[in-house]
């Protein structure tokens, strides 16, 4: 919680398509299975840490419900609510007595075409979103979101939060993630949207990798999306995890429909780990930042671990964005 000021009055936690609650064979997870995922457990850690403060802030979950299903039907079929994270977020919010702002709940009946022609529906999702309901447009969607947030902030500022029956210290965890009470961690990212408070990954050396800052979006607009990119087979990049001993490491990378690049992650001696492969390709037409499964690495005492990313494919780009390093022996709620 280093990046949230101690005197913060309100914290907005937004989420979108970062947790698709679908198993590899296409079956939707149960609510319990999604709650026990690393994604949901991480959110619970954030909530509990904030609520344990002497003067805890008011928390709100904000969600854009994904109105179209990208996993089945290439963006043209109706969304399966169970395959998103919406239900899990609502469960967490109710369990910890925090607020929610859901575009799904706000507009659900207003977009339903049961008794009207489609063109007559006042809040049809494609009139305020782009990319088949995946993002707000800047004309109408952002305005609706701003109005909902403004109303919530007015309400939060004018009234105390309803009293809860128990303090967080007396509440059990909602998730059953095995490491829920352990796991002090650090995140390093090339994204500078945190005002410089998040350090960049420590790059020790590169061969065939290039640091980029700006990319050109589909519509021709330039966007700042920093990271390291390689597209030639055999290109190597070395990263210092800045941590000794046992550690769990995840790589943040660009997952995109337009690339089939593959890289191998391995550890340099004396640090040891089992090499893993990552694939940049996803069936979704929208590019997102993905985190790799945790890589268990062990470095001798007093020696940090060096990771090597090596390209396995040619002529297909792979982009490194961030690195997450967890100390599984630390206390999660001390972060």
- Give the pLDDT confidence of 284-297 residue by residue, as tens digits: 777 888 888 889 99
pLDDT digits (tens, 9 = 90+) for 66-123: 665 544 444 445 555 555 667 778 888 888 888 888 777 777 777 665 545 656 666 7
Six-digit token string for 22: 């679908």
Give the whole-angstrom CA distance, residue 294 versus residue 177.
Answer: 14
pLDDT digits (tens, 9 = 90+) for 41-71: 778 888 888 888 888 888 888 876 666 554 4
What are the backbone dihedrals phi and psi of residue 333, each rounded to the nearest 5 degrees, phi first? -85, 10
Ordered domains of the chain (ranges, CATH)? 10-170 (3.40.50), 184-334 (2.60.120.260)
What pLDDT score does 211 carry?
93
What pLDDT score does 81 carry?
52
Instruction: Using pLDDT thresholds of 50, 70 and 90, give the confidence band for residue 246.
Output: very high
Give the whole-angstrom CA distance, residue 167 versus residue 49.
Answer: 12
- Residue by residue, DSSP assigns 211-268 as EEEEEE-TTS-EEEEEEEEE-STT-EEEEE----EEEEEEEEEEEBTT---EEEEEEE
**169 or 190, higher pLDDT:** 190
CB within 8 Å of 55: residues ≥ 6 apart: 7
For the entire predicted model, the pTM comes to 0.59
Half-sphere exposure of residue 34: CA atoms within 13 angstroms, side-chain side:
22
């Amino acid at each position: 919680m280093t990046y949230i000021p101690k005197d913060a009055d309100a914290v907005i936690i937004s989420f979108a398509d970062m947790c698709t609650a679908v198993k590899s064979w296409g079956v939707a997870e149960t609510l319990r299975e999604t709650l026990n995922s690393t994604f949901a457990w991480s959110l619970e850690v954030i909530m509990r840490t904030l609520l344990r403060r002497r003067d805890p802030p008011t928390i709100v979950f904000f969600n854009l419900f994904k109105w179209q299903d990208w996993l089945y039907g290439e963006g043209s079929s109706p969304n399966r609510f169970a395959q998103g994270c919406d239900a899990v977020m609502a469960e967490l919010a109710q369990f910890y007595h925090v607020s929610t702002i859901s575009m799904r709940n706000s507009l659900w009946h207003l977009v339903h075409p049961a008794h009207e022609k489609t063109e007559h529906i006042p809040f049809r999702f494609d009139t305020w979103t782009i990319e088949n309901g995946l993002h707000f447009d800047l004309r109408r969607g952002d305005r609706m979101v701003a109005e909902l947030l403004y109303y919530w902030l007015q309400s939060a500022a004018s009234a105390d939060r309803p009293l809860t029956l128990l303090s967080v210290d007396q509440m059990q965890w909602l998730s059953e993630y095995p490491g829920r009470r352990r796991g002090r961690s650090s995140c390093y990212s090339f994204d500078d949207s945190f005002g410089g408070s998040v350090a960049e990954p420590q790059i020790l050396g590169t061969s065939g990798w290039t640091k980029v800052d700006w990319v050109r979006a589909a519509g021709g607009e330039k966007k700042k999306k920093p990271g390291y990119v390689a597209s030639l087979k055999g290109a190597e990049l070395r990263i210092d995890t800045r941590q000794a001993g046992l550690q769990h490491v995840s790589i943040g990378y660009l997952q995109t429909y337009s690339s089939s690049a593959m890289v191998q992650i391995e550890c340099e001696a004396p640090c040891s780990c089992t090499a893993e492969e990552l694939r940049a390709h996803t069936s979704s037409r929208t590019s997102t930042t993905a985190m790799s499964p945790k890589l268990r690495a062990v470095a001798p005492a007093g020696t940090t671990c060096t990771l090597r990313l090596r390209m396995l494919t040619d002529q297909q780009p792979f982009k490194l964005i961030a690195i997450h390093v967890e100390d599984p022996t630390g206390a999660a709620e001390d972060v």
